[in-house]
Structure 1
Amino acid sequence: MSLESETRRIQLTGGSTLIVSLPKEWARQLNLQPGDEVILLPQRDMSLLLVPKKTIRSAFSEAKIEVTDELAKGDRLTRITLGYYLAGYDIFRLFFNQNTIGMKKDIKDIARRKLTGVEIVDEGRNTLTLQNLINVPGDISINDIVLKIVRVTESMLDDIKVALSTIDKNILTDIVERDNEVDRFYWLLNRMLKKLTTSTYYASASGIKDPRTILDYALINKSLERLSDHIVQIANELLQVGQQYIMGIPKEQRDKVIEYIDKVMELIGVLSRSLSSQPSSVNEINNLIELAREKAREVRGLQGSLREYETSPSIIASFDSILYSIARMLEYISDIGEALLNINIEVG
């Protein structure tokens, strides 16, 4: 639909009611009839968004994927499926040949681990149909998803702190597996944010007060996902070195690591409150940004400090890797703080 803008005069009817007629060609293309309902959404710039109710719930968009031998190589099918999910498709129909039928198991695993709201609705010998069951907007808000990521991240940090003192393999393995939950919410929020950019109505109905904040939420989402990845990197380092971490590293150095993990948890807590019902002031967010950067510099200053002690090169490398991940977590917290600051300014 491509229509030119029009200017209409406001009319007075019944002595007190203001009315304006709708463009005839626009109404014709949408097949609007007397009695049809429209939604009126006032915008921040004092314009008025008019949305015919009948157009809001359009037919499910459907993706058909032929799983060829070429597409079955490496991670290609995963990338394609994720691409359709992020593009906003609701139904995924996959068709397999004799050589690729074994990929059905992989697709089911992708849906389980990465695609929140996507369920298997039909399966044949050579076919598989997935459908997204989460409506955007409506079923879940942007802030809800961000807070879910924050809370999973907080639980991972709490457990990594315990594991730094115990090297408990069960706890470390659970941390690595829990990262899948972060990934699921990360992809869901990516999908939602992409959809909001395609429709002013979706953005308004989702609670977004200013479209510029979509970019800020995208940065927050990516920073939280990367922060979670660094928690997993620490867990993997501890799984690899095992008890050598405790035996080969002086307690004073290990205590410093726990101290900085505590600081990361403290700052994550501030972020959590800023995203919930107790938003932080501009001064509080600025203080968070500056403190996160200061602590990141301190952590980077500790890298290489184990060379003063008699310990193996592999332990030194693992210790420096853990410190690098902590520094990056603090830097990501600073990035999130900057995005929250932008949101505060943009929405007033």
Structure 2
Amino acid sequence: MNTQKIVETRKVQRFGKSTLMISLPSEWVKIVDLKPSDLVVLEVKDDGSLVVFPQKLAEKRIRGKEIRIILSKNTNEELVQRALYTSYIIGYDRIVIEYENGSIPPHIMSSIRTMVRMLIGAEIVAQTKNSIVIQNFVDTERYSIDGLVERMSSTIKSMLDYLITSIKTGLTEHLKEITELEFEMDRVHALAIRYVYALNIQNTSHFLTEYRVLIKTLEDVGDSLAQAAQILNEKTVLIEVIKEVVGDKLEEMKLHLSYTIDMILQAITNQDLAIASRAADLAAEATKFVSRLEADVIPKYKSLEDYLKMKSFFEKLMLLCFNLQAAAEVAFDIVMSKKENVIKLS
């Protein structure tokens, strides 16, 4: 790339009612190979100056990074999976795993394959008896952080719908579908965290901590739903009492929680503090609603085992509500961080 210095003075012009704009120097556009529809990064420096550079150049800072993970006979499966997962989310595109002496044990190889299947864009591209190479092919230009948050939220709503449908119909097949959706949620969560790391390296956002907390909180919501479904799946006789006692209120609970999720997304999209605050209030109301359902259902179980199982089920639903409230509060923080120095509340 030609790195000759370009210094020009250009006049700021008005575009529309409130937008100011300048054109990009044609010589610079040719040097960086910028084309229509390409994304550019705008970085504001501490002194107030503005740096503009193509996103594809920013991504070169992290693309192609390689890490080698050396295993020994004392390395356990959990440690291998954790190291592989972390290597993915912190931005490594090529992960080389090598075994110190001899062949990689079958149980270690199996755990590696299991983890690779969970990582969107990751594939095993080379393998020998004592090494395995994993390449990440995910294209970050296809995603946005808000888009990934929306995708996680949509999955949560589907999981909630399957849970309520299973209770109302007594069909446990819907509970099994929740497990599949949880797996998909975990995959999107890993990709979203990787994307946050990429943005951090590119210095393109000042509220990444809040986004990471939001992503983790949404994953916790999904985990709570999956755990609630697992409890019912292990003892399906519990379903009939729930259906009989509070079956007519389950749809209301589902709509309330789904609406809360929609409000969280709307707050971020519209950068509306009032909507974010309302979403937190709705989540708090949902907690009280679930508590009332629990008070109606729990006394109906006679055996200690059934009582404890159902108590645990409602604890998962309560945890879901608490995490939704936390997500709404983080959304409020994100909206605040995007505002200018003056904030108008109405």
Q: Where on the TM-score scale, by shorter chain, does this alignment land: which range?
A: 0.7 to 0.9
Shift of 1:177: 2.1
Q: Which residue is equivalent to 2:91?
A: 88
Q: How does 1:20-59 map to 2 (within 5 A)?
A: 37=32, 41=42, 43=44, 46-49=48-51, 57-58=60-61
> SS in structure 2 opposite 1:95?
strand
- Equivalenced residues, count: 305
Q: Which residue is equivalent to 2:310?
A: 319
Q: How does 1:151-190 map to 2 (within 5 A)?
A: 151-190=154-193
In structure 2, how many angstroms separate the alpha carbons of the residues matched to 1:12 and 1:75? Answer: 54
1:108 aligns with 2:113: yes
The AA in structure 2 aligned to 1:220 is L
Shift of 1:312: 1.7
> SS in structure 2 opposite 1:253?
helix
In structure 1, how many angstroms separate the alpha carbons of the residues matched to 2:107 and 2:301? Answer: 52
- Give the stretch that moved more between structures: 306-315 or 281-290: 306-315
> SS in structure 1 opposite 2:201?
coil
Shift of 1:36: 5.3
Alignment CA distance shift 1:70-1:160 (3 Å): same
1:289 aligns with 2:280: yes
> SS in structure 2 opposite 1:197?
helix
Structure 1 runs not aligned, ≥5 long: 1-10, 19-34
Q: Which residue is equivalent to 2:234?
A: 240
Q: Which residue is equivalent to 1:79?
A: 82
Summarize deviations over 1:29-57 as a string: whole Å, max 9, x none: xxxxxx95497835287422265986752
Q: Which residue is equivalent to 2:24?
A: none
Summarize deviations over 1:250-303 as a string: whole Å, max 9, x none: 722344455423321221232344455xx2632222222112113213433554
Check the 8 A contact 2:77/2:107 in 1, yes or no: no
Summarize deviations over 1:201-242 as a string: whole Å, max 9, x none: xx2xxxx4xx0x212211210111000001101110111111
The AA in structure 2 aligned to 1:318 is K
Summarize deviations over 1:314-346 as a string: whole Å, max 9, x none: 222222222212222122121111122122222
Q: Which residue is equivalent to 2:255?
A: 262
Check the 8 A contact 1:60/1:90 in 2, yes or no: yes
The percent identity for this pair of structures is 20
The AA in structure 1 aligned to 2:326 is D
Q: Which residue is equivalent to 1:67?
A: 71
Alignment CA distance shift 1:198-1:330 (3 Å): same
Summarize deviations over 1:155-188 as a string: whole Å, max 9, x none: 1111111011233222211211220110011111
Summarize deviations over 1:131-157 as a string: whole Å, max 9, x none: 111244x23110111111111111111
1:145 aligns with 2:138: no
The AA in structure 1 aligned to 2:303 is S
Check the 8 A contact 2:267/2:332 in 1, yes or no: no
Alignment CA distance shift 1:217-1:54 (3 Å): closer
Q: Which TM-score applies when normalising by structure 2?
A: 0.78
Q: Which TM-score applies when normalising by structure 1?
A: 0.77
In structure 1, how many angstroms separate the alpha carbons of the residues matched to 2:111 and 2:264? Answer: 36
Q: Which residue is equivalent to 2:18?
A: none
Q: Which residue is equivalent to 1:120?
A: 124
In structure 1, how many angstroms separate the alpha carbons of the residues matched to 2:298 and 2:175? Answer: 27
Check the 8 A contact 1:182/1:228 in 2, yes or no: yes
Alignment CA distance shift 1:323-1:122 (3 Å): same
Check the 8 A contact 2:163/2:229 in 1, yes or no: yes
> SS in structure 2 opposite 1:88?
coil
The AA in structure 2 aligned to 1:316 is Y
In structure 2, how many angstroms separate the alpha carbons of the residues matched to 1:300 and 1:103? Answer: 44
The AA in structure 1 aligned to 2:85 is L
Check the 8 A contact 2:77/2:108 in 1, yes or no: no
- Give the stretch that moved more between structures: 57-66 or 79-88: 57-66
